[in-house]
Structure 1
Amino acid sequence: MSTRINERGVEETYFEGQHLSLSDLKEEEIYHAYLFKNNIPAYPESVEFDVEKVSHVTGRRGLEGIFEDSGFKASDTSYFLWWNLSVTADDIDSAEERFLNSLFPHTRIRNQIPFLEQFTTSKAFQKESPYGNFRFTFSIRELLYHYGDQFCPGHSPVLRVFETVLYKQEILYRIIVHPRSITLYNNYPRLPNDDDGVCGYANGSIWWRCQAPSETYMNRFKVNWRRGSVHVSPRNEHYYVWDQVCVAFHMEPGWVLHVNRDKLIKRVNVCEVSGPCLLRPPETPLSLHRAENILSNF
């Protein structure tokens, strides 16, 4: 365990080469106001999501730079190109079905009212983003193909467990992708392709066992074992940690992950900026109407 100040001036507690579950983190000797709260209403724990798509969100300057460069590159102060999981409504439905089947493996479940959408309310599941108004969305398989084709001649990219980062209310699981020729990360474990751990990659999807799906808990989850069903009841508002997964592609200075213009246009849409806004000055959030007008000019 170590601490550092990131490039946005925010303190991070991080664990290199590990993806620590919520219970693992609670065994660490750290002070954290939210992590150790014990009055959180019951919620669906360790729900597994299989996510095929990732997204990169940016502001107007980033959008212009991506089209000028015909692709993506790291910032001037970083070796990483960051992508977040893009969890769809279908991903949530599939995760709910798997979760119910794991609870009641020998029961045919009928007429169950959907429940998971009432808990998947953290920033990991929101359509808005604090990073800007323009979201590029690709399948992780497609990105790995482009990255491998351009930077990993003769080999596939390597995916590894990078780190767990703990913020005031967020647990961030980072995955690193790099060429075999870059040996900087050889001491980090390979990302699992089976069901061992918090997250991994298999068959074109990143699977993720979500540890805490909400920032604010306003519902209580209860299992009726006799009837083979679950239900949700309202509770008072409680704040807790939430978690998400991001993928960092290692980028050397001057590298651009090239994508042709037509594909860039097909893969980008606009979104609202959520708070707290993390756009770098002088950029400011745009209205959806303004963002759509800007995008229509590309």
Structure 2
Amino acid sequence: MKSIISKVKSHLLLKLNITLPIRRLRHVTTETGVIGIIRTEAFKKSPRESEVFRDLSFWSAEVLSGDTERARQEAYEKVRHLVAPEMAAGFQEDIKEQFANSLAFDNSSSRYGNFVFSFPLSDLPDAYKDQHCRGGEPQLRVLGTAMYRREIAHAVVIHSPETDRYNDFPLVPVLSRHSEPFPFVYQRDGDVGMWWTPESTSTTIKVRILEEGRMTRTCALDQPCLGYSKDGKCPHEHRCVWNHLIIAFHLPEGQHFAFPKEKLLQNLSTCHGATDKYLKDTMVTKEEAEGIIREFMKI
């Protein structure tokens, strides 16, 4: 972790403190996974060996495209006050495209498979409460952080109040609308939902703000590379470590997170396999995935 952190360069365009509403969660899986979920009508725990991440069903925050576009406009509004007006206008589209371009915001592809179960966030805790909480309220706690070469994954666990397994982890705070500064994840008093303030939303920084307040698209190396000198295209833009918000449902031994087959199929769609996918050998094309879903519809 120290080695990774030492290579991360701070940048004005990374820490804009843009807060995004989380309205849906998505669980992405492979062909084998989707067949198992449909046949058993349930999501099961992940076979993780780590004590902290054991007995959990993992989901990701799904940021809707409209919320992403609003966040990009807000990011531009913050950045344009840092540079001369003519520069802000000239780099407007570059700034917007640079913000929220990581896989956490790409709903059309995934590294985890081609089959996407996408549910409204409000539906999942309610279903979990009915199945696992025996009349109590689900607890939301900040489970921890996993750091990878290009990704920092923050995890929130949802669990029954009957378990004391997560008592040492802090509760997701419930804030008023005027509280500042915002933590990376929180709930608002009186509202149903979750809000996320990622520190980094980009995979690369192509447009930079120089110390004197100017903006540039030039090569990130101290001495521009040959490719940039020839045609202005450069592979040496600053590569960023981006944030990923994971929501995990605790499923004690022998318990599942169940949904009727009809509801599963209503909330099932397909996506492309991402280029930096983990599961290369288990990926299919989006067209093949759509054909598999059509077969489910006939059963």
If the length of structure 2 is used for normalisation, what is the TM-score? 0.76
1:51–1:91 contact (8 Å) kept in structure 2: no
Q: 1:47 to 1:163 in 2, by over 3 A?
A: same
Q: What is the distance in 1 between the residues matched to 2:2 and 2:80?
A: 37
Aligned partners of 1:56 and 1:136 also within 8 Å: yes
Alignment partner, residue 198 of structure 2: 210
d(CA) in 2 for partners of 1:39 and 1:151?
A: 44
Q: How does 1:127-206 map to 2 (within 5 A)?
A: 127-194=108-175, 195=179, 196-202=182-188, 203-206=191-194
Q: Does the Cα contact within 8 Å between 2:13 and 2:79 map onto a contact in 1?
A: no
Residue correspondences, number? 257
- Alignment map for 1:13-24 (pairs within 5 Å): none
Q: Judging changes above 3 Å, is the alpha-carbon distance between structure 1 residues 233 and 120 closer, same or farther for their aligned structure 2 residues?
A: farther
Following the alignment from structure 1 to structure 2, what is the Cα–Cα distance between the partners of residues 171 and 51? 18
Q: Summarize the alignment of residues 237-252 of structure 1 with structure 2, pairs less than 5 Å apart.
A: 237-252=237-252
What is the aligned counterpart of 1:82 among 58, 62, 72? Answer: 58
Q: Does the 8 A contact of 1:37 with 1:240 survive in 2?
A: no
Mapped contact 2:27–2:59 kept (Cα < 8 A):
yes
1:96: Cα distance to partner? 3.9
Paired residue for 1:54? 25
Q: Give the direction of change, closer, same or farther, for the CA distance of 1:39–1:58 in structure 2 (3 Å limit).
A: closer
Say which of 21, 31, 54 aligns to 2:2. Answer: 31
Structure number with greater Rg is 2
Tell whether the 8 Å contact from 1:50 to 1:95 is kept in structure 2 after alignment: no
More helix by share: 2
How far apart, CA to CA, are the structure 1 residues paired with 2:60 and 2:154? 10
Task: Give the letter for the 2:274 counterpart.
Answer: S
In structure 2, runs of 5+ residues without a counterpart are 49-53, 82-87, 220-236
Q: Any conservation in 1 of the 2:115–2:268 contact (CA below 8 Å)? A: yes
Q: CA deviation at 1:274?
A: 1.4
Does the 8 A contact of 2:98 with 2:205 survive in 1? Answer: no
Q: Could you give the per-residue CA deviations for residues 66-120 of structure 1, whole angstroms, max 9, x where no partner exists?
A: 1111121113444000010111211113324555677899xxxxx9856434321
Aligned counterpart, 1:23: none
Q: What is the alpha-carbon distance in structure 1 between the residues aligned to residue 218 and residue 158 of structure 2?
A: 41
Q: Where in structure 1 do 4 or more consecutive aligned residues deviate above 6 Å?
A: 100-105
Contact 1:130 1:276 in 2 (8 A): yes
Name the counterpart of 1:234. Answer: 217
Contact 1:55 1:84 (C-alpha < 8 Å) held by counterparts: yes
Report the structure, 1 or 2, having the larger strand content. 1
Matched, 1:42 2:12: yes
What letter corresponds to residue 62 of structure 1 in structure 2?
Answer: G
CA contact (8 A) 1:92 1:116 kept: no
Measured in 1, the distance between the counterparts of 2:116 and 2:265 equals 11
Match of 2:84?
none
Q: Which residue of 2 aligns with 1:66?
A: 37
Q: Percent identity?
A: 27
Amino acid in structure 1 at the alignment position of 2:261: R
Q: Which residue of 2 aligns with 1:272?
A: 272
Instruction: Please list every run of 5 or more consecutive structure 1 residues that lacks an aligned counterpart in the other structure.
Output: 1-29, 106-110, 226-230
**Alignment check: 8 A CA contact 1:122 1:242 kept:** yes
Matched with 1:95 is: 71
Deviation at 1:296, TM superposition (A): 0.7
For 2:256, the aligned partner's letter is V
CA distance in structure 1 between the partners assigned to 2:215 and 2:252 by the alignment: 48
